């Protein structure tokens, strides 16, 4: 996979049950409006607030209704057995890529322990073809996946461990990985990194805000070998108004505005509904986005 990947939100009802029709409608719109692929059940998709059974149900929706070659899915949990279960299910459904968090609960984790955990996942997958992309998100997990561990795993199984989504915001980390491992697909989590994608050998970006900036990002990605300063400035300004401590509720609120469906505003605990002040600021942003004012 490469290019602009949207980390899509998951619509739920007031009881936290996922809503299939709304979900697929949004996924299709995103793919038709600049994005090359979808990250299903990542942090933006509130994956860790769903049971394994529900996650597999959502995985099935997208795998049967959408182009599987444009999908990656989050399967990582602190439990090795549950991660194996979800990753096997993803492979059975035809997902080409699983995005896997490290086992983040017990700390400190040695390189040896981390490599062993991922190797056990690889062994359980046997000769299945699904690729594993590391998911580095230290702000949530409390740990950074060491580059040394990534390199060890990539060298031992280059076709399995062949990509990473980095949500740390540390582009030096991304550059170090792409420089050290030519076979690794490196996806920073901010579309503002697209300005250096060609120079730093980034494969694209996997971002929550591309749910709303995808059209602009597609133009930058297509023209990535040239100067895109003006477009990147606009993208950065839009992203800054969405990102922050209320990222997921804000993403959902803007989807609700575009689709004119307030049901999109529902979030899983521990998230709370946005207050009116935040909504008003997002309303101003919505008025600036052409597809929201059509």
Which of the four pLDDT bands, split at 50, 70 and 90, describes residue 292? very low
Strands (E), 80-130: 97-100
Average pLDDT over residues 63-79: 98
Counting residues of the chain whose pLDDT is more than 70, the rounded percentage is: 98
202, 196 contact by CB (below 8 A): yes
Q: Which tens digits make up the pLDDT trace of 146-201?
A: 999 999 999 999 999 999 999 999 999 999 999 999 999 999 999 999 999 999 99
Pick the CATH number of 3-224 from 3.20.20.70, 3.30.465.10, 3.40.50.970, 3.40.50.280: 3.20.20.70
d(CA 67, CA 100): 21
d(CA 290, CA 186): 31
- Sole residue written with tokens 């792409």: 178
Beta-ladder partners of 135: 165
The predicted structure's pLDDT at residue 293: 41
Average pLDDT over residues 193-214: 97
Is the model's pLDDT at 132 over the cut of 50? Answer: yes
The predicted structure's pLDDT at residue 208: 98
Which of the four pLDDT bands, split at 50, 70 and 90, describes residue 290? low
Tokens of 169: 């915001």
The predicted structure's pLDDT at residue 288: 85
Which of the four pLDDT bands, split at 50, 70 and 90, describes residue 70? very high
Which of the four pLDDT bands, split at 50, 70 and 90, describes residue 289? confident
d(CA 266, CA 133): 29
The DSSP string of 46-91 is TGGGS-HHHHHHHHHHHHHHS-GGGEEEE---S-HHHHHHHHHHHH
The DSSP string of 32-43 is HTT-SEEEETST
The predicted structure's pLDDT at residue 53: 98
- Sole residue written with tokens 């697929």: 24
Is the model's pLDDT at 33 over the cut of 60? Answer: yes
- Round the average pLDDT of the chain to a whole number and report it: 96
Q: Which tens digits make up the pLDDT trace of 229-247?
A: 999 999 999 999 999 889 9
The predicted structure's pLDDT at residue 63: 97
Calculate helix-pair angle for 210-222, 20-32, nearest 10 degrees: 20
Tokens of 132: 């594993």
Beta-ladder partners of 205: 4
Is the model's pLDDT at 28 over the cut of 70? Answer: yes
The helix/strand/coil state of 176 is helix
Q: What does the longest C-alpha to C-alpha distance in the chain come to?
A: 54
Give the HSE-up count for residue 184: Cα atoms under 13 Å, Cβ half-sphere: 29
Counting beta carbons within 10 angstroms of the beta carbon of residue 270, is it exposed (0 to 12), middle (13 to 18) or buried (19 or more)? exposed
Domain borders along the chain are: 3-224
Q: Which tens digits make up the pLDDT trace of 249-276?
A: 999 999 999 999 999 999 999 999 999 9
Counting residues of the chain whose pLDDT is more than 90, the rounded percentage is: 96
Look up the pTM and report it.
Answer: 0.95
Quickly count: other Cβ atoms within 10 Å of residue 185's Cβ.
20
The predicted structure's pLDDT at residue 294: 44
């Amino acid at each position: 996979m490469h290019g602009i990947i949207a980390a899509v939100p998951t619509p739920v009802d007031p009881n936290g049950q996922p809503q299939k029709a709304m979900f697929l409608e949004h996924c299709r719109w995103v793919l038709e409006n600049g994005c090359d692929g979808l990250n299903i059940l990542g942090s933006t998709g509130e994956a860790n607030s769903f049971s394994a059974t529900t996650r597999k149900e959502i995985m099935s929706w997208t795998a049967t209704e959408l182009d599987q070659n444009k999908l990656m899915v989050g399967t990582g949990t602190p439990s090795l057995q549950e991660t194996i279960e979800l990753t096997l299910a993803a492979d059975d459904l035809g997902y080409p890529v699983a995005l896997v968090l490290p086992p983040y609960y017990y700390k400190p984790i040695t390189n040896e322990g981390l490599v062993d955990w991922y190797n056990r996942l690889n062994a359980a997958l046997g000769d299945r073809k699904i690729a594993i992309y590391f998911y580095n998100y230290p702000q949530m997990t409390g740990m950074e996946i060491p580059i040394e561990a990534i390199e060890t795993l990539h060298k031992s199984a280059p076709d399995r461990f062949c990509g990473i989504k980095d949500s740390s915001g540390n582009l030096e980390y991304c550059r170090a990985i792409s420089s050290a491992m030519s076979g690794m697909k490196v996806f920073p989590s901010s579309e503002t990194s697209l300005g250096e994608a060609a120079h730093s050998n980034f494969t694209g970006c996997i971002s929550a805000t591309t749910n709303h900036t995808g059209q602009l990002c597609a133009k930058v990605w297509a023209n990535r070998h040239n100067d895109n300063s003006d477009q990147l400035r606009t993208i950065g300004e839009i992203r800054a108004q969405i990102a922050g401590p209320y990222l997921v509720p804000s993403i959902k609120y803007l989807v609700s505005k575009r689709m004119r469906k307030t049901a999109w505003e529902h979030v899983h605990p521990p998230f709370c509904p946005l207050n009116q002040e935040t909504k008003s600021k997002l309303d101003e942003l919505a008025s600036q986005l052409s597809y929201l004012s059509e």
